[in-house]
Amino acid sequence: MYLTLYATEKGEVLEHPGVMMLGRSGNEWLVPEEMEMIPLPKGASLVAIPDCLPVGLGLDERVVAIEKDPYNVRKKVSPVAALLPQGFTRTLLPAFVKRDSEKNMPLFGYAAVGLKGDKIYVAAVKTDEHRKWHPVYYNTEGLPARINRMLEKFPDNRILRQLARCSLEYSCFTAQNIFYQRWEGGIPTMPSCNANCLGCISEDHAGVPSPQNRINFRPTSHEISQIAIEHLTKANDAIISFGQGCEGEPSLNAEVLAEAIKIIRSRTERGTVNINTNAGYTRGIKKMADAGLDAMRVTIFSCIEENYNRYHQPRGYTLADVKDSINYAADKGIKVSLNLLVFPGITDREEEIEALLDFVARNNVHMIQMRNLNIDPDYIMRYFPSDEAGIGMTEFINLLKYEMPGLKIGSYTHPVR
């Protein structure tokens, strides 16, 4: 058993001596199983969930909400959760109740934590090698100087100014990699979108401010190719990715992107050109595929059309268009991944798993990237209520591996060149 952790008003993290840890899957409180828990990995951070009360299992096996610090009953407490680094998939949400049920939470991927012995554990499994995404490699002392040097080298490039802001204000790792000149670097290219996803992180939703603001201009092919060539020719394991958290849908700017890809490939064959996309605008995807795209990561919440539409709220396209885009790209030799937005209690429902397996079997999907969905649990469960319990995220991942042994499971885009 794991003890419930809570945060004091001073920010101290303590265990409650008489309350066992619970996690949440969908709308259920669950006692975590051993296979769902791992020691808190390096790079994870513990945070207090604002305006909420921790929930756990009392000694009488009743679910209890902790309202006061057991060591000082005059003090309020908050639930504690973990924010996981890249490469780890959350298996359970934290157990908590809101002080104000009408208020939606910030867009973070909170994972449940508990104490066993003298060690903190988190409800997660490792799904990819996370060395490149370890926080120790980011936000370093030398980053501002690197940013200034590149801005001086390309003073008229508006994308670089956006990436500088994303690096310093939002601590975006793919933005910072452009200035560190390594690994996957993001290049935002489009302000508007053809979807209205419930968990959009670049536009305000449900009264929750977005954690980052979108790019507010359409870059030129010169601006895009200038950054891409610089990165691909100098970075180790180089990837450039269109479709970042600070933009809309990049394929809507397909004419410019296709031209940029041709310019890039006329200058270097090195590195991977990738797009993160909803793949709904098939005509645009085809143009970029024909221009020389190497990899495509397609964001998807559900492979059940009704649930897909409810979450993504597509404008002017359907799930059938997404499939057409995937298969056209794959036929061109492009490595296609699904950016699967995972949420315990929804993703691991049997109907969702069956639809996902069928989708992968019928379409040319090379890899599934597990992406913890940052969203208020109460908010999303209003859209996807169900009496069906999930099988558990660990079982879900094991089932994918068993049913699709040739399918790659990971958490982020890997180089294909």
- What are 278-308's pLDDT values in tens digits? 999 999 999 999 999 999 999 999 999 999 9
Rounded Cα distance, 338 and 336, in Å: 7
Q: How far apart are CA 181 and CA 267, in angstroms?
A: 17
Q: What is the pTM of this model?
A: 0.95
The widest CA-to-CA distance across the chain, in whole angstroms, is 70
Give the number of other CB atoms < 10 A from CB of residue 27: 14
- Is the model's pLDDT at 131 over the cut of 90? no
pLDDT band at 68 (very low <50, low <70, confident <90, very high): confident
Q: Which residue type occupies 202?
A: S
Q: Can you read off the two tokens belonging to residue 210? A: 């977005």
The band of 103, judged by pLDDT with boundaries at 50, 70 and 90, is confident
Which phi and psi (to 5°) does residue 2 adopt?
-115, 140
Radius of gyration of the chain (CA): 22
For 24, the token pair is: 């949440």
**For 337-354, how does the pLDDT look when each residue is reduced to its tens digit (9 = 90+)?**
999 999 999 999 999 999
Which are the contacts of 279, defined by CB distance < 8 A and separation ≥ 6?
251, 285, 296, 298, 321, 322, 325, 326
In 243-281, which residue ranges form alpha helices assigned H by DSSP? 254-267
Spatial separation of the C-alpha atoms in residues 417 and 235, rounded to whole Å: 13
Domains in the chain (CATH in brackets) are 3-126 (no CATH), 131-410 (3.20.20.70)
Q: At what angle do helices 221-234 and 158-169 cross, to 10 degrees?
A: 60
What gap in Å lies between CA 289 and CA 242, rounded to an integer? 13
Average pLDDT (16-43) is 95
In this predicted model, what pLDDT tens digit does every residue of 167-194 receive, in sequence order? Answer: 999 999 999 999 999 999 999 999 999 9
CA-nearest of 60, 49, 59 to 5 is: 49
The Cα–Cα gap between 128 and 369 comes to 9
Residue 269 identity (one-letter amino acid): E
**Distance between CA atoms of residues 347 and 354, nearest Å:** 11
pLDDT interval class at 207 (50, 70, 90)? low
Asked whether 351 and 304 are in contact (CB, 8 A), the reply is yes
As a whole number of angstroms, the distance between CA 187 and CA 19 comes to 47
Which DSSP string corresponds to 335-385?
A: EEEEEEEE-TTTTTSHHHHHHHHHHHHHTT--EEEEEE--S-HHHHHHHS-
In whole angstroms, give the CA distance from residue 131 to residue 24: 29
Q: What is the mean pLDDT of residues 96-113?
A: 89
pLDDT band at 205 (very low <50, low <70, confident <90, very high): low
CA dist 192 and 16 (Å) reads 47
In this prediction, residue 209 carries a pLDDT of 67
DSSP assignment of 113-168 equals EEEETTEEEEEEEE-S--GGG-GGGSS-TTHHHHHHHHHHHSTT-HHHHHHHHHHH
Tell me the pLDDT band of 107, cut-offs 50, 70 and 90: confident
Between strands 239-242 and 272-277, the pairing is parallel
Going by pLDDT thresholds of 50, 70 and 90, the confidence category of residue 56 is: very high
Q: What CA–CA distance (Å, rounded) separates 221 from 299?
A: 24
User: Once rounded to an integer, what is the mean pLDDT over residues 302-320?
Assistant: 98
